[in-house]
Amino acid sequence: MKFLDLAKVYIRSGGGGSGCVSFRREKFVEFGGPDGGDGGNGGSVWAEAVEGLNTLIDFRYQQHFFAKSGQPGMGSQRTGKTGDDIILRVPVGTEIIDEDEETVIADLVTVGQRVLLAKGGNGGWGNLAFKTSTNRAPARANPGQEGIERTVWLRLKLIADAGLVGLPNAGKSTFLAAVSNARPKIADYPFTTLVPNLGVVGIDGAEFVMADIPGLIEGASEGRGLGTQFLAHVERCKVLLHLVDGTSSTITKDYKTIVTELEAYADELGDKPRVVAINKIDALDSKTLSSRKKALEKASGGPVYAISGVAGKNLQDVLRALMTEIRAEAPVVESAPWQP
Pair 70, 55: CB distance under 8 Å: no
Determine whether the annotation assigns residue 214 to a binding site: yes
Determine whether the annotation assigns residue 163 to a binding site: no
Beta-strand ranges (E) seen in 217-279 are 239-245, 274-279
Determine whether the annotation assigns residue 331 to a binding site: no
Name, in order, each residue with C-beta under 8 angstroms of 85's C-beta and a sequence gap of 6 or more.
Answer: 43, 44, 45, 46, 67, 120
Determine whether the annotation assigns residue 216 to a binding site: no
Determine whether the annotation assigns residue 215 to a binding site: yes
Determine whether the annotation assigns residue 131 to a binding site: no
b/e code 297-327 from CB counts within 10 Å (16+ = b): eebbeeebbbbbbbeeeebeebbebbbebbe
Q: Is 132 exposed, middle or buried (0-12, 13-18, 19+ CB in 10 A)?
A: exposed
Determine whether the annotation assigns residue 170 to a binding site: yes
Name, in order, each residue with C-beta under 8 angstroms of 45's C-beta and a sequence gap of 6 or more.
Answer: 11, 12, 13, 65, 67, 85, 86, 88, 116, 117, 118
Determine whether the annotation assigns residue 212 to a binding site: yes
Determine whether the annotation assigns residue 191 to a binding site: yes
Pair 155, 97: CB distance under 8 Å: yes
Determine whether the annotation assigns residue 195 to a binding site: yes
Determine whether the annotation assigns residue 171 to a binding site: yes
Determine whether the annotation assigns residue 290 to a binding site: no
Determine whether the annotation assigns residue 284 to a binding site: no
Determine whether the annotation assigns residue 19 to a binding site: no
Determine whether the annotation assigns residue 173 to a binding site: yes
Determine whether the annotation assigns residue 41 to a binding site: no
Determine whether the annotation assigns residue 40 to a binding site: no
Determine whether the annotation assigns residue 281 to a binding site: yes
Determine whether the annotation assigns residue 17 to a binding site: no
DSSP 30: S
Determine whether the annotation assigns residue 31 to a binding site: no
Binding residues: 166-173, 191-195, 212-215, 279-282, 308-310
Binding residues for GTP: 166-173, 191-195, 212-215, 279-282, 308-310
Binding residues for Mg(2+): 173, 193
